[in-house]
Amino acid sequence: MAKPRPRIRKAPGAVQAAAGVSWLALVAATTLGAGSLHRVRAAVSGDARSLGDSREGYRLIVQSYAPESLGSRDFPGLRARPLGSTQRAVTREELERGVAVDLVGLDQRAADAPVVVAWVERGPADLEFDALRARPSAGAVYGVASVPPAAASGAVRVVLSRRRS
């Protein structure tokens, strides 16, 4: 007869914590000298009619910044470095419904709650993998939202309602 296996007791909340973490967050958290790690959930939506038609499709780029990086018109300056960034291809229908995005950001110091900047522009998502150097093109539709400190578990809403000139 086989011996029964001993039961392993899990720490309370261990399963819930592991389920909500992306592989990128785990890699970043285990990197030596990574500094401060923050994870931001954003729900990005906008009026797709403002985009116009595009044969190439649309790309959504979402970046997080330290609050002091904001320049004029609530947009980060040209030399501001994003803490985290991602991009993906989206359709007009997805944008109307809302697109959920997870960002993992690294900073060498403990930062205040970051600011999320998102924009959509015509073209496929063919920029570098993480879109850290991406900047909105003329005609891109963008939105900016501050992450409240209490929003650690919820998503910050970013509405794309401004046009970049």
- Dump pLDDT digits (tens) for 17-53: 344 445 555 565 555 445 567 788 899 999 878 887 7
Residues in the chain where the model's pLDDT stays below 70:
1-36, 72-73, 107-111, 127-129, 149-153, 165
Position 131 scores a pLDDT of 80
Q: Report the alpha-carbon distance of residue 141 to residue 92 in Å, rounded.
A: 13
Position 53 scores a pLDDT of 77
Q: Is the dihedral of CA 100, 104, 110, 114 positive or negative?
A: negative
Question: Which two tokens mark 26?
Answer: 């785990």
Position 16 scores a pLDDT of 38
Residues in the chain: 165
The CATH code for residues 34-163 is 2.60.40
Stated pTM of the model: 0.74
Residue that has been written with the tokens 């419904």 in this structure: 97
Q: Is the dihedral of CA 96, 89, 40, 133 positive or negative?
A: negative
Q: What is the DSSP string of 70-129?
A: B-GGG-B-TT---SEEEEEEE-HHHHHH-EEEEEEEEESS---S-EEEEEEEES-S-S-T
Position 12 scores a pLDDT of 43
How far does Cα 154 stand from its chain's mean position? 13
For residue 77, the one-letter residue type is G
